[in-house]
Amino acid sequence: MGRISRRGFTVGAALTLAGLTAGDAVAAGRSTTGQKARNGREMRGMWLATVANRDWPSRSGLTADEQRAELLGQLDTAVRRRLNAVVFQARPTADSLWPSPYEPWSEVLTGTQGKDPGWDPLGTAVTEAHRRGLELHAWFNPYRIANHTDPGRLVPTHPARLHPEWVVPYGGKLYYNPGLPEVRRFVQDAMIDAVRKYPVDAVHFDDYFYPYPVAGQTFDDDAAYATYGGGFPDRAAWRRDNIDRLVRETARRIRKVRPRTRFGISPFAVWRNRATDPEGSDTTAGVQTYDNLHADTRKWVRERWIDYVVPQVYWNIGFAAADYAKLLPWWSDVVRGTGVRLYIGEALYKAGDPAQPAAWQDPAELSRHLTYAKGFPEVRGHVFFSAKEVGQDKIGAMARVVADHYARSAPAVPSAPATPADG
């Protein structure tokens, strides 16, 4: 992606650790300068997904002691892999992994939505991560309500049951309607509650804003658009403004409640293809965040509404539709001069998956990503998806990353303040 020629790179070649191509030789030659330009520490993170019990807990219904032991095991794995940050999914589907006055306890804990698990997972995660020298980034999904379309399966006191006018079924799931101001305020309130209660190092959103498009289906926000869409050239512009407002307002509220807590977003890595927009990346991806998810990710960086961005560059070097070696320079160009930190989201989950291209069967593919990234001073680290694979490491790809790039343990960073600011 991006204006690669402006950086003097020939990036079409596949990197190898043993023999760099001409373009990679340029990157290698720049790496020392790039490293010196990196002020502050390197991000070495992993996502810890709780939705559908993806990474933790291993299944619903474990005892509180079993859940806690598994969680501490995940944090210990991060330390063993010489990471320094865990992105903990605290609000997977309009529910919570802390005692929230806004939303019910998540069913991933007990198997029953709304049932008290008998302990505080988010509070424990923050305390135990900091005890180990790890940052804890609290990961929230703003609009997803459920991975089904039956409101009757939600606990009776669920806000989506109490406010059915907020809900849009789409693609086999339930979503809050981002076009309603009362929804935007509510989801912020629910998330900021955690920021107020816990010294989280960051608030983290992933790539789910308006839902990914589903063929033959329409996201029904006609009524909201009729009420609030006046003054916009079209529905897409109105939708983008809705998400812009969410991001901008959330940033302001975080800084008011806990000024040292950062705000980061990990979007799908393609803002727009160059064929759509000359400012876009040299890609041919079927999804573009600006057009399909109504998320103007580049704008958020340029307006400095966020403190860091983690584009999910989940493709191998040389992948035709979305080449890692083109996306990374494009994002480097986007963040340059903004003060927004760039971390790269890495698809560890693809390593060794037989359904993936041949590049992902090579344990060295991810290590080559980090080697390539060293030529770009804007890249301040990497985050791996996800915790399960960090621990299991099917073909040794994570071990290779650690051996090649994380020879020393990452230095710990002072955590966010223990008490929130006034206001």
pLDDT in tens, 385-401: 999 999 999 999 999 99
Residues 6+ apart with CB under 8 A from 88: 48, 50, 97, 122, 125, 129, 136, 137, 138, 139
The reported pLDDT for the residue numbered 410 is: 81
Residue 57 included in any domain: yes
Residue 170 included in any domain: no
Are 261 and 254 in contact, with CB atoms under 8 Å apart?
A: yes
CATH number, residue 200: 3.20.20.80
* Residue in this structure with the two tokens 């998810």, named with its chain if needed: 293
The reported pLDDT for the residue numbered 409 is: 87
Indicate the average pLDDT of the chain: 90
What is the pLDDT confidence band of residue 31, given thresholds at 50, 70 and 90?
very low
Give yes or no for residue 406 having a pLDDT over 90. Answer: yes
Give yes or no for residue 28 having a pLDDT over 60. Answer: no
Structure tokens at 246: 């969410």
Tens of pLDDT, residue by residue over 115-135, are 999 999 999 999 999 999 999
Give the percent of the chain with pLDDT over 70: 88
The stretch 192-218 carries a mean pLDDT of 97
- E strand map for 30-153: 43-48, 85-91, 135-140, 144-146
The maximal CA–CA distance of the chain, rounded, in angstroms, is: 62
Residue 382 included in any domain: yes
Residues 6+ apart with CB under 8 A from 104: 95, 96, 113, 114, 155, 157, 158
Residue 418 included in any domain: no
Range of the domain at 241: 4-141+180-224+235-405
What is the pLDDT confidence band of residue 250, given thresholds at 50, 70 and 90?
very high
Instruction: Say if pTM beats, i.e. exceeds, 0.75.
Output: yes
Q: Give the count of domains, the chain.
A: 1
The reported pLDDT for the residue numbered 351 is: 98
The reported pLDDT for the residue numbered 32 is: 32
Residue 87 included in any domain: yes
The reported pLDDT for the residue numbered 41 is: 84
d(CA 256, CA 7): 38
Residue 175 included in any domain: no
Residue 423 included in any domain: no
| Cα–Cα distances in angstroms (integers) from residue 290 to residues 103, 239, 296, 328, in the given order | 30, 10, 5, 18
Residues 6+ apart with CB under 8 A from 185: none
Give yes or no for residue 415 having a pLDDT over 90. Answer: no
Give yes or no for residue 280 having a pLDDT over 70. Answer: yes
Residue 199 included in any domain: yes
Among 38-52, 85-99, 206-220, 284-298, the range scoring the smallest mean pLDDT is 38-52
| Cα–Cα distances in angstroms (integers) from residue 245 to residues 153, 212, 308, 319, 411, in the given order | 31, 19, 18, 34, 35
